[in-house]
Amino acid sequence: MKFSVGYQICESDFFIKEIIKNQPSIDEVYFSWGDFANGRNMQTVQSYFTPWEAQQRQIEDLTDLNKSGIKFNLLFNGCCYGKDSLSRSFFNKVGETIDYIMTGFNLSSVTTTSPIIAKFVKDNFSDVKTRASVNMEIGTVQGMDYLAGYFDGYYMKREYNRDFERISLLKRWCDDNGKTLHILANSGCLNNCSAHIFHDNLVAHETEIAAMDNCYSFTGICHEYLKNSEKRVSLVRDTSFIRPEDVKLYEPYFDTMKLATRVSDRPIQILKSYIQGRHSGNILEILEPNHAGRIYPYVIDNGRLKNDYLYCDKNCSLCGKCEENYHNALINLEDLY
């Protein structure tokens, strides 16, 4: 299995060097650019760089990655572009950005939440493949078929990561229709989150929101939900993460796995764990979002987790396997001292 790795601007060059060192296991690096809304925080907003320094650092990092032969995937995966969604000036900017990156780097694909951006790319950049973002939550053959004229590939809805019957169905349709199927491996989001769309829209408008006199802050419903210890079984039962040890089970269906490393404070650990196919310690630490701090001093020991949840009928009301699995893997660090 090869991996698609999310780029982040770091204070040091350790992460870039680690990616280059593991180049044989890495298919591509994906990244956002400039001030485009995307599915995570603004790439150029950093506490240790000015926006101009951050952009220059990104160019230098991508240049080094490009020299190593790694392909690139450009993100336009914000869930809302507001008044710019269809504007001529916006698409001029999109086109200029793609043209600039293609000129300097090995840009092979664009991932977007917008069918119109996908159409624009297909109309103007025939060598660049288009992918439907995981934020579009596509998990059916119909959902892929509706957009077959716009996208060359699809990130599967994360809630189906452990449903091999569904994966087989989607993979078969993609193969029959000349499309590619993609998967996000280490999401820490809770499945079927009722506030997910709201949260994604906030992220897309974070720059505008930060400039306002706000009376509330919002960091996700999951943070509040997981304060209740009785709800924390959801970290195993109601999530979609794939353990590094289970990556091999997905090789018949996917050529690459996407790793969420763009905002993690442990990107190197995530990369090493999945390339090596094992992780020792708290599974939450290699997920994004990372909920480790939410349940401290408890940890979920990856070595004690079983992969039973990969082979069940998903009828949680009549089954206690995930709850048993969760409690078996739960360790109170204070009990160790």
The tokens describing 258, both together, are 């996407």
For residue 317, the model assigns a pLDDT of: 76
pLDDT over 80 (residue 222)? yes
| Percent of the chain topping pLDDT 90 | 83
**Residue 311: pLDDT band with limits 50, 70, 90:** confident
Of 98-102, 219-223, 308-312, 326-330, which range is least confident? 308-312
Q: Where in the chain are the domains?
A: 2-227+240-295
Of 76-80, 215-219, 312-316, which range is least confident? 312-316
CATH of 2-227+240-295, one of 3.20.20.60, 1.10.10.10, 3.40.50.80, 3.40.50.720: 3.20.20.60
Q: Please give the model's pTM, rounded to 2 decimal places.
A: 0.95
Helix (H, G, I), strand (E, B) or coil at 195: coil
pLDDT over 80 (residue 336)? no
Stretch 190-217: mean pLDDT: 92
For residue 41, the model assigns a pLDDT of: 66
Mapping DSSP onto H, E and C, the string for 122-189 reads HHHCCCCEEEECHHHCECCHHHHHHCCCCCCEEEECHHHCCCHHHHHHHHHHHHHCCCEEECECCECC
d(CA 188, CA 178): 31
CA dihedral 128, 179, 201, 157 (to 10 degrees): -150
Stretch 111-136: mean pLDDT: 98
Residue 181 phi, psi (nearest 5): -110, 135
Residues whose CB is less than 8 angstroms from the CB of residue 125 and which lie 6 or more positions away in sequence, other chains included: 98, 99, 102
Q: Which residue has the higher pLDDT, 181 or 335?
A: 181
Of residues 150, 156, 183, the one with CA closest to residue 170: 156
pLDDT over 90 (residue 307)? no
The rounded mean pLDDT for the chain is: 94
Of residues 15, 121, 3, the one with CA closest to residue 65: 15
Peptide bond into 252 cis (omega under 30): no
Of residues 289, 297, 300, 303, the one with CA closest to residue 323: 300
pLDDT over 80 (residue 42)? no
Q: Which residue has the higher pLDDT, 213 or 46?
A: 213
d(CA 15, CA 212): 34
β pairing state of 2-6 and 129-132: unpaired
Q: Which residue has the higher pLDDT, 134 or 41?
A: 134
**Residue 320: pLDDT band with limits 50, 70, 90:** confident
d(CA 228, CA 25): 39
Of 21-25, 33-37, 187-191, which range is least confident? 33-37
Peptide bond into 289 cis (omega under 30): yes
d(CA 121, CA 179): 16
For residue 43, the model assigns a pLDDT of: 63
Of 116-130, 156-170, 209-223, which range is least confident? 209-223
Mapping DSSP onto H, E and C, the string for 6-39 reads ECCCCCCCHHHHHHHHCHHHEEEEEECCCCCCCC
pLDDT in tens, 144-198: 999 999 999 999 999 999 999 999 999 999 999 999 999 999 999 999 999 999 9
Instruction: Answer for the pair 146, 132: CB distance below 8 angstroms, yes or no.
Output: no
Stretch 31-50: mean pLDDT: 78
Helix (H, G, I), strand (E, B) or coil at 197: helix
Stretch 273-292: mean pLDDT: 97
